[in-house]
Structure formats: C-alpha cells, structure tokens
Amino acid sequence: MGPMNILHAVVYGIVEGLTEFLPVSSTGHLILAARLLGETPSDFLTSFEIAIQLGAIGAVIALYWRRLFCEVEVAKRVLAAFLPTAAVGFVLYKVIKQYLLSNDTVVLWALFLGGVLLIVFELFHRKKEGGGETDLARLPYGQAVWIGVCQSLAVVPGVSRSAATILGGLAAGLSRKAVVEFSFLLAVPTLLAATALDLAKNAGSFSKDQFVVLGVGGAVSFVVAFAAIRFFLRFVQDHTFMPFGIYRIGVALVFWFVLK
C-alpha cells in the first residue's frame, strides 16, 4: 500500500485517543493498526506514531491546565518524575526508533506480559489496599522519581506508559484516582519531549501533505482522548485495572495469530 492517507490518519487518531491514557499501550496499538492497514513502513510512519501524541497531550492540558501551571508543588513533582524518562529516552532514542518501534514480536510479548503483571498485581494489591495518598502536592519526591523510573520502562513499545506509572504509583501508596491523575499530568512533559525530539530530527523531511495527515490525526486524537480521560477517571472509582490486563492478553494472542 502507498503513503498514509487521511482516512488512515483518522483511524490512527481514534486508536491513539482511546489508548494513550489507558494501561494498554497506545504505541503498541498504533504499530498493530499499521500492520492491519497494510501501511508501508517508513520513517514518516514511525515519526507519525510518536507525533500523533500531541493531540492526546492537548486533551490533558485542556482538562488539567490549572494543576499543571498554577499548582507549583504538583508541577515540581511531575518534573521530578519526568527526569528519569527524559534521560533514558534521550540516550536510547536511536535504538528505540530503529529497532523497537518496528518490532511486532516485542510489542506482542510486552502486551502479553504486561497483561499478566496487571492481573497478578491486582490480585495481591487488593488484599492490602488502603485509602492511599490522595494529595499529589504532598507526594514525596522519592516516590515521584520512582514513578518516573517505572515510566521509563515504557520506552519498550507494548509496555504502556500508563500501565507502568499506574502500577508504580499504586506500589508507592497512591490512591487509584491520584495515580491516574498523576499519570495524566506526567504524560504532558514526557510526550512533549518525545515528540519535540523526533520532530526536531525529522520534520524537515516531511512534505506538506504529510503535515496535513499529521494534523488530522492529532485533531482526532485530541477529541477522542478528551472523552477517554473522563471515562477512565469514572472507571477507576469502582473498578480495578484487571479488565485491562485480560484485554492485553487477548489482544496479544489474537494479533499473534493474525500477524504471525
């Protein structure tokens, strides 16, 4: 199949918006979607899978701009959590883009094992779960950095940035609502940095049509992510993350037979 078109960009925007903030790996789903659509592998496609996150970032900023820009103590903790991921991403940028973002096997194994980990974690965590810390402005910096270290594991596509931060936050003693909100906030500097780094290196080679495709995908992901964030916040009030673990395992198995 030829270069990416507008219809494909809309599909990718929907996939990105739905999966970026759920613990299911948006990058993994975008890679699998590209395979199903028969997209021709290219440097632009790889960059697109990174840059389309701008739309999802916009949704977080629209919903949480006050916490990000007006609550200094919360912003400082978000920055502390961002630093480990920034270091890992900067050092491993070439490895991630050249070898990991095009590897279906890595994605499927990460989806599967991440699903198993979510289920096992929930089974043990529920037995000792208390209220948990709810005030992000009081989160100890050591715990914030720990969550950032967990997030850095998501440089492997299929791991899920959201799943890594959520499990890390729950293990550190945050409440479910607090850890989900912290994961949303941490996405802003993390995804902005990843996108800025990639665009700085590659945007000069994009055509006008490719920028249009990227803009469409980003706009769609913004709208869908806005709705997905609101849904996820309601969901965590009364549910565990176990359904997402089951979903990850199911997706990995289905795609394993489809792609292999």
Domain boundaries, the chain: 6-259
Residues, the chain, total? Answer: 260
Copy the structure tokens of residue 114.
Answer: 């991440």
Q: Where are the alpha helices (DSSP H) in the chain?
A: 6-19, 26-36, 43-51, 53-69, 72-91, 93-95, 104-125, 141-152, 161-171, 176-202, 208-238, 242-259
Copy the structure tokens of residue 101.
Answer: 């973002």
Nearest Cα neighbor of 56 from 12, 11, 7, 16 is 16
Q: Where do we find the tokens 């779960």? A: 129
Rounded Cα distance between 257 and 221, Å, is 28
Rounded Cα distance between 161 and 194, Å, is 12
Mean pLDDT, each 10-residue run in order, the chain (260 residues):
77 94 88 84 82 91 91 94 86 69 81 93 69 79 93 86 91 87 92 85 85 92 95 88 94 83
According to DSSP, residue 155 is labeled G
Predicted confidence at residue 27, as pLDDT, reads 81
Rounded Cα distance between 239 and 41, Å, is 38
The reported pTM is: 0.86
Rounded Cα distance between 38 and 258, Å, is 13
Predicted confidence at residue 1, as pLDDT, reads 46
Rounded Cα distance between 52 and 30, Å, is 10
C-alpha separations of 105 from 101, 157, 223 in Å: 10, 10, 31
Copy the structure tokens of residue 65.
Answer: 């701009």
